[in-house]
Structure 1
């Protein structure tokens, strides 16, 4: 038996044996991919090149023309046909990798749709997020998709960036934890995780894909760590290179990034894909190559393996003919892709069961998990005693805002053409009607009618609506108004960034009018990034940040508003008072003279890690002690209120006398603890040597001598206890 057919051999050995049997053309095909937008029977089959190594799965585009939603079994049948014909077209029966997006759910319709990543980050719950990714992975794998372009682990420190909703926020540790958790979940389901976009991905002003101005120190301290964790702890077997340039070199052809850091420093042994047309743009956008063949060669030699989204066969052959590439370069890239196919069992089980998938995808257990995630992500930003509403005392409810009549899923991924639909998914308005029953009157109207309608209601709710996402970077972080919405253009895929951060004149005026007409009111934010609320926040008594909480979000929101659950999420980003503060993040480095803009004090409206509760917690008996491999912080936490709830205790570090400038505060650990009324728990949080390690002046990493303040709190600003810690000769000392 040929070695590549022997299931008992390691993937590397099977791939090496198969590679040695292949022609140059066959190897190049393994580097090549294909995306077809118009998927309609024979037309699709005529366009598909079944010699190629991977395909953008057809489920995403099956109903491009008729705007319908694909069922899981339809997707599975189409993918099985893809695989069957590809295996048949290969002398060695090599199956393709079907890939696609799975940011917070499978990219084709009728799959379970979880909260957006920014909302998942607000849970501060790594195991919950890993479980979410595990379900997503199982659903996509059931349809035959074996590689997902997720998670997004770019650290977002400017909320004007339109893709902030795809990220886990501003903090390095939180992004690393959540990215690792998602990669573990995907990979454990037999799906290749491809964290993206390596690296940085946005520039000054939140402009997507613009050249990174980050120094190598900033990259090593902020933007690279989440990727490193995805590979070394999350097991991610692939990565997507970013469009932007770093230090003058596009990421797709940066040997320092793709070979020096990724493989030599971190030991990554997976394969690298480009972002869509990222290789072509080395020539056409960055203009550092005079042909696509030269650009392709530059990228492959730098360490990139698969240029997405279309075949690179012509360019690779031309590059070899002109001496830009050698066959050994192709062997290296093709070998990595073949190894990945063997590692996930694609050769051994290339097909999926078309008959059982409809009963599995979006099953009751998965919808229940989506509901739990939605409940955990809600952040109570303001409550002047209005919430929770008394359900028994409410007879008339005013429901306003365009977000009330939209299923709050946000973009199912960042594409402008992607929809999501399920007949049993509720809008907030729809679920309120079910939740409150026929005995309660629901009054709706336009924003202009609020002054007339709101006074006659027992309570009023305003659900916001934003326009944001890929291609919609904002010059404005206000709530979108009608004029603002019509003014935003997505010109041929160009990114229109957001220079302001406010909530939009129309929605802001409506919110203020509601609050003036009826003080028993609340604003529910449906958005993917922090917004400027200073134009109306003082007027309203309650604000619930719901993000885009997914297909079960309407139920979670209603439960929180009426006290069936306690909103226990925490902000994964700082909320600004004005656009002039941006970029705004808590872990900044000290200023040489400490100046801020004259118009504000530099403090956020709501700080990182902030979130209110319907109950109260007491944290005391805090202790800190060192041991050989780090230190441990212990504390008692008691729920002193009359409702069950959860609190996230956060450990921050402030470092001094370290030889290099360190941030004023860095999150180093956190623990979410759920407690019944009156319940008390003793909790221990361990900080290893990693928490006290940093890059010195020479960019060498380690735990060097220095002094640190360990700070325990419930947000980055609300610190309850501190301890002084020093490092001397590799040992930690408390006090």
Structure 2
């Protein structure tokens, strides 16, 4: 995206964000993150370290949150020293909307807006997004050489970015080039393929793939409050002119389509009558496409359909409104049902039908979950790479008093996703290694044992037996997607530098002489790790 054009000018100044974020208290936006130096280096900074090393993004945005009590917008240790000194990154750090003012208004770590501005500059934040309340706040400090130096550094970085993007020579876009690029056939095809490969099949009771007559489905009932809604997200265009809702899409591949809303997404107005109508519609069909989830329209539309996206936190992970009631009623009809789930969160659910997080019957489902979906909201947070003590009962507490309500195993684990076919993993080989340099090689044979062509994401995890600090039970270290015809086999090979088995202790990375275990499989769940190898790379690193 940020690659230069023929003139050497950056096409886009990529901004990576939010540094750092992802585990705010109770999942509340802006809430603080609890952690220390080891968590920072081993968890939260990992993607930023990788992206800066590989792509050198032009800009970065800190999060609203504080980490270990220090707001990221004024965090000298991480937003300045880590990025600028350790990673040698010299791009533009820009504040989130009003984040500098929040140092005074919300965090209460700055006594006034001028102090907030100084704190941000000292953390190498050189560009502000926000209102006019802070304009001129530093005007009286021009005589201060330390502040003047910070301002000059910020200005240098911003001017450098403008030169790199050619804004001084060509401040206006080339409309002819834009018109030849935006919505071009190649880009639309790429976007479609990305969408296809972003769909995750979670459950299939033999319904998929759907058998069609003359390439068309028979009588289909499309039901659900999101069936007529383009759920593009808070910062995306809900383009009803060229985009397609589920109802419109199914209408193009079915002989006869009926529709019932079933309920509203966030209130129970006329719920009994609406569900009754949906049940009647379902019973008259051969197949039901039930569309559930949480809606996140464009920020300009904060109407009564908004239940997801920025500014919308959740007390639990259930479906908003009476959608679960609708689902149970439709499942009870006995008609074949495909559930499409759309939304920006994991949902607590026990689906009684075939379930796909977005689906069309002519697409080979192949994607995997990037989060773990819990059985119960009360069991959160839940993640595959937990620490050894996370799921161990105390010596005098063999089971939780609410067991199994707070069973912390996932209903659908990280890395999980079904296909229309099945795969078998065999002939796993892992090279033992006896040095802190070089590579470990993992080989695996994967065979398509089903009746359909399919894609599988082969995943490699590793764990260390006795690290010097508590480390995750397992960590994803490699993955790749392969495509196999029915009956076909393929050997997949992964080369893993030994250095990647290391971790940080108090800011310094180390690779221990220890025993390591490697797992290969189709998800992070132990049952899906069809081949596991213990005591590999032993006493060698």
Is 2:201–2:418's contact at 8 Å kept on the other side of the alignment?
yes
Is 1:193–1:238's contact at 8 Å kept on the other side of the alignment?
yes
Alpha-carbon spacing, 1:703–1:660, altered in 2? closer, same or farther (3 Å): same
Aligned pairs for 1:442-521 within 5 A: 442-444=258-260, 446=262, 447-468=275-296, 495-504=311-320, 506-521=322-337
Helix, strand or coil at the partner of 2:16 = coil
Alpha-carbon spacing, 1:684–1:527, altered in 2? closer, same or farther (3 Å): same
Structure 2 residue aligned with 1:714: 522
Following superposition, the deviation at residue 626 of structure 1 comes to: 4.2
* Matched positions, count: 508
Following superposition, the deviation at residue 582 of structure 1 comes to: 0.8
Structure 2 residue aligned with 1:391: 212
| 1:619 paired to 2:429 | no
Q: TM-score if structure 2 supplies the norm length?
A: 0.87
Is 2:204–2:355's contact at 8 Å kept on the other side of the alignment?
yes
Helix, strand or coil at the partner of 2:447 = strand
In structure 2, what is the Cα distance between the partners aligned to 1:592 and 1:577? Answer: 17
Structure 1 residue aligned with 2:357: 545
1:222 to 24, 43, 47: 43
Following superposition, the deviation at residue 592 of structure 1 comes to: 7.3
Helix, strand or coil at the partner of 2:313 = coil
Q: TM-score if structure 1 supplies the norm length?
A: 0.65
Following superposition, the deviation at residue 301 of structure 1 comes to: 2.0
Structure 2 residue aligned with 1:308: 129
Alpha-carbon spacing, 1:605–1:266, altered in 2? closer, same or farther (3 Å): same
| 1:591 paired to 2:419 | no
Is 1:211–1:246's contact at 8 Å kept on the other side of the alignment?
yes
Aligned pairs for 1:306-455 within 5 A: 306-310=127-131, 314-320=136-142, 323=144, 326-392=147-213, 394-413=217-236, 419-421=237-239, 423-436=241-254, 439-444=255-260, 446=262, 447-455=275-283
Alignment RMSD, CA only? 2.8
Is 1:639–1:679's contact at 8 Å kept on the other side of the alignment?
yes
Helix, strand or coil at the partner of 1:391 = coil
In structure 2, what is the Cα distance between the partners aligned to 1:339 and 1:657? Answer: 47
Following superposition, the deviation at residue 587 of structure 1 comes to: 0.6
Following superposition, the deviation at residue 724 of structure 1 comes to: 3.0
Following superposition, the deviation at residue 384 of structure 1 comes to: 0.9
- Cα displacement string for residues 544-594 of structure 1 (whole angstroms, at most 9, x for unaligned residues): 012xxxxxxxxxx32xxx3x2210011111001111111111111011781
Helix, strand or coil at the partner of 2:294 = coil
1:283 to 80, 91, 104: 104
In structure 2, what is the Cα distance between the partners aligned to 1:635 and 1:593? Answer: 30
Helix, strand or coil at the partner of 1:605 = strand
Alpha-carbon spacing, 1:387–1:313, altered in 2? closer, same or farther (3 Å): same
**Higher relative CO (CA 8 A, sep ≥ 6), structure 1 or 2?**
1
Aligned pairs for 1:245-256 within 5 A: 245-256=66-77
| 1:705 paired to 2:521 | no
In structure 2, what is the Cα distance between the partners aligned to 1:592 and 1:574? Answer: 15
Helix, strand or coil at the partner of 1:296 = helix
Following superposition, the deviation at residue 467 of structure 1 comes to: 3.5
| 1:243 paired to 2:64 | yes
Helix, strand or coil at the partner of 1:326 = helix
In structure 2, what is the Cα distance between the partners aligned to 1:366 and 1:487? Answer: 29
2:490 to 681, 692, 709: 681
Alpha-carbon spacing, 1:728–1:334, altered in 2? closer, same or farther (3 Å): farther
Following superposition, the deviation at residue 253 of structure 1 comes to: 1.4
| 1:644 paired to 2:450 | no
- Cα displacement string for residues 641-665 of structure 1 (whole angstroms, at most 9, x for unaligned residues): 2222100111111211121111111
Structure 1 residue aligned with 2:438: 629
- Cα displacement string for residues 357-389 of structure 1 (whole angstroms, at most 9, x for unaligned residues): 223201111111111011111111111112222
Is 2:9–2:164's contact at 8 Å kept on the other side of the alignment?
no
Is 1:618–1:638's contact at 8 Å kept on the other side of the alignment?
yes
